[in-house]
Amino acid sequence: MTSIAHAGKPASSDPIGFEQHDHGSCISAGLAAAEAHCQAEGLRLTPVRRKALEILLQEHRALGAYEMLDSLRDAGFGSQPPVAYRALEFLVTNGFAHKIERLNAFIACAHPGANHSPAFMICRICDSVAEAQSAPARGALGEAARATGFTIERTVVEAEGICPACTEKADA
């Protein structure tokens, strides 16, 4: 199941991701979830980190670190690469964002708080990214790991292809 789609009425409907959704509420929900989680875990959601998450949620697409840096600078934060990389590292470490290895880019987590191993679908035409759940340890990979004695700690699962919207455009 993908989680780009969001429940609730599509007030400000938005085609980014593979389905329309109430974008305003997904931003505030994401921020609220992060705040709650940090509160609970004693983590510090500092201004830069919060702004970085807000930017990711706002853009609702995979952002390169330097795009993030531009936005952070515009928002009055430092202008050197480590500013962006540190904020992104915090978000990724704590599960508020994910790195898309294939794109060297970052995206807000679509299942904030949930304990999950994410999988991504990346459109090679429009670069949109949707997050789904995966259970790689249960498939062929998990079997291979068990057979060889490899301990899986983290998985990167990214599918590259064509999203529904671009498929339609191509057919037209």
Cα 149 from Cα 78, distance rounded (Å):
45
Q: Are 62 and 107 in contact (CB under 8 A)?
A: yes
What SS3 class is residue 125? Answer: coil
* Residue ranges in 104-123 that form contacts with a second copy under rule CB under 8 A: 119, 121, 123
- Find where tokens 């979830």 sit: 33
Cα 86 from Cα 74, distance rounded (Å):
17
For residue 108, give Cα distances in angstroms to 27, 33, 34, 118, 122: 10, 12, 11, 12, 14
Cα 154 from Cα 109, distance rounded (Å):
16
Of the candidate residues 12, 28, 39, 46, the single one contacting DNA (CB under 7 A): 46
Least distance in angstroms from the C-beta of 23 to a second copy: 18
Cα 15 from Cα 169, distance rounded (Å):
14
Q: Is 12 in the site for DNA (CB under 7 A)?
A: no
Q: Which residue's CB is nearer to a second copy, number 47 or number 139? A: 139
Q: Which span sits near a second copy by CB under 8 A: 20-28, 67-75, 84-92, 158-166?
A: 158-166
Q: Of a second copy, DNA, none, which one sits near residue 18, judging by CB under 5 to 8 A according to partner kind?
A: a second copy
Of the candidate residues 34, 87, 130, 163, the single one contacting DNA (CB under 7 A): 87
Of the candidate residues 102, 111, 113, 126, the single one contacting a second copy (CB under 8 A): 102
Q: Is 85 in the site for a second copy (CB under 8 A)?
A: no
Residues that bind DNA (CB under 7 A): 43-44, 46-49, 64-66, 77-83, 85-87, 90, 104-105
